[in-house]
Structure 1
């Protein structure tokens, strides 16, 4: 009889673990356990087409329901794992079940970072992470509704773009002095600030909040400067926290994520971890990192599943991300931390340009706006640790693929 691989979590990464195990002809039992009531689904569309009502819930599914109709796959949805007993190799669930495993994969993902402020429990205050979250937002997001978004990162700005196009009156409040400040250059922040302002979004930058007011239902956001923003609903998007408590309680190494090696193996040889919950080495970047990225989740899932099947596989890829706002597709490759020079390639007025980040002359990241060719070519240059001539880099007439020094 074959082994049992249990997967804690049923998100995008978990779905890919199942798919790769099947592809690799794994002959044991796959046990998929998730807290949400849905089969593995894609989260990126939640703040985009699903929020806009352009994509039905069934189209979010990673695989059709029939994919899991396999005698070798057991699915337990709506099930919370309370504890992992490594010595007996068992999982203990909130409904009193004990489930045995031979190998375990943590695909526990991340949860929204919560605000701890007066009034935060009022009706009409939302976070955005699940289908249920978006369903709740959509019920209130009507034409003319006053929406206040706390946080000007990817999620907040994507929601702002969709809500504006649905006819809502949108205000975005951000503590930093520019949007997406954690991930993009000042030049790109300014471009997106102008874009949102041109669509009627009110941006309150360098502004804190002290709480929320209302009688049962939120009616205003209280600002730290004693002002108020009248509102009908609020969406909070201030980042996420990796779900590591289960792993930590089981005695695994945790440090801003579940610590894994480049095989996605934890500090226990029979336990793996994948996706947003992991803190992993990246040989291309040259340091350890935790990523919130579908690409990372999928590739780590493939890596872990391959190693479980006895195929020695290491994970080392250029991270990449994307964000859709209005008619702008922002594609990001690499991580820009520590950059000492940013080159704007092309004219932002054309709505197709790139910001390229250098450190000691080496290309380490790109933010490409409606510029897929720059994005694809930059990924290869980043992986090759290419040193680039800045003057050539700034010339959009010269293709990036010719610039390896």
Structure 2
């Protein structure tokens, strides 16, 4: 007999699609309704600023499932659909056309929206942001034309776009209000590695600067900085962060604070409503605080975790935050959580100048996060150090001649093994 329950997922991105997949794989036989505002079926976003811009990835490769997967697995995928309200008392999601869909459990995976700049000319053609497939297409078209590209914001998206643009031969200027790229994320020592790398590839930085206006007739032709400098621009990409799409949660009266506040099982303040992906400000048992993480891996893993929680499983979502980037000949993976002000030192093993190293962010001797640059297959060891939650010997941590497996908590420190680092 078919399960009579109806599970509704609002947000047809990676988190929502993987949640639907998990529901079916774990034997849920009820109705699954997957609602997305974009016209495309669910897709993954990393290639939008990487392979698609570089021309190394095929467009079809970004989609989570083949076109026929949803029908074959009895998932009612509806694209181009706006959900206008959630009626918690009636347990219904209301669509923009007035239709109501009842639910037994509701999962919100509505993602985030790029922040814009509230300056004159922000609506000119050629002033672009990057979040969706069409956004990536527009930026790729602009890069193909070469010319002058101005990137506003030296975060991960901004730097990946800058790298792709240089590899297309464009002249690139990055405008950043801080003194270095990624300064709040990485701290000055590691941030300089990225600044130097981009300068080596011909990128010009304007640090300590903000945008006053965009100029042009119908299309942008210049970016005006706060000191009056005008930068020529055939196109502009604004990458100054995103804001979680929490309007629906606020309308429904859920607890919202930097995203939808959920527990370690990804349950919101309403026990029938869950959240995953960019909008979930989830309690993380390893760090003992709520975290909202905007990266691909969070969508990939939190969607399935929320699905299992919806089915009544005892879920503790404790995946460590993880993200990666590829820029020029640099590949990087970052694991953990070390916000600005949340660590007291950075330990480096390896060679910063060669851009082959692992950096560790340390608080009270404890490893809070680790980033491996052009060194591979060390993420499990970094995770082990973070999860130990105990101080480690920082001298051993910095020594490439000691395997990461042998950098154990100081209260159980063995004799030096003399083994070489496998990385």
TM-score, length-normalised on structure 1? 0.98
Query: 1:98-113 counterparts in 2 under 5 A?
Result: 98-113=100-115
1:35-69 Cα deviation digits (max 9, x unpaired): 00111111011000011222122110011112112
Shift of 1:383: 1.2
Query: 1:163-174 counterparts in 2 under 5 A?
Result: 163-174=165-176
Determine which of 51, 56, 63 is the counterpart of 1:49. Answer: 51
Shift of 1:230: 0.6
Q: 1:208: which partner in 2?
A: 210
Assess if the C-alpha contact under 8 Å between 1:109 and 1:275 holds in 2: yes
1:136 aligns with 2:145: no
Q: 1:394: which partner in 2?
A: 398
1:380 aligns with 2:345: no
Assess if the C-alpha contact under 8 Å between 2:52 and 2:140 holds in 1: no
Shift of 1:116: 0.7
Q: 1:319: which partner in 2?
A: 321
Local SS of the residue matching 1:69: helix
Tell me the distance in 1 between the aligned counterparts of 2:364 and 2:357: 23
Shift of 1:137: 1.4
Q: 1:261: which partner in 2?
A: 263
Unaligned runs of 5+ in 1: none
Local SS of the residue matching 2:144: coil
Tell me the distance in 2 between the aligned counterparts of 1:208 and 1:154: 18
1:110-146 Cα deviation digits (max 9, x unpaired): 1101111110000000000000101111222225321
Query: 1:76-87 counterparts in 2 under 5 A?
Result: 76-87=78-89
1:136-195 Cα deviation digits (max 9, x unpaired): 112222253210000000000000001100111111000000001121121111111111
Query: 1:219-298 counterparts in 2 under 5 A?
Result: 219-298=221-300
Local SS of the residue matching 1:183: helix
1:350-374 Cα deviation digits (max 9, x unpaired): 3210111111111111121111244
RMSD: 1.2
Tell me the distance in 1 between the aligned counterparts of 2:73 and 2:318: 34
Assess if the C-alpha contact under 8 Å between 1:275 and 1:292 holds in 2: yes
Q: 1:180: which partner in 2?
A: 182
Local SS of the residue matching 1:65: coil
1:320-354 Cα deviation digits (max 9, x unpaired): 11111111111111112211111111112332101
Q: 1:299: which partner in 2?
A: 301
Count, aligned residues = 405
Change (3 A) 1:100 1:70: farther
Shift of 1:272: 0.7
Q: 1:10: which partner in 2?
A: 12
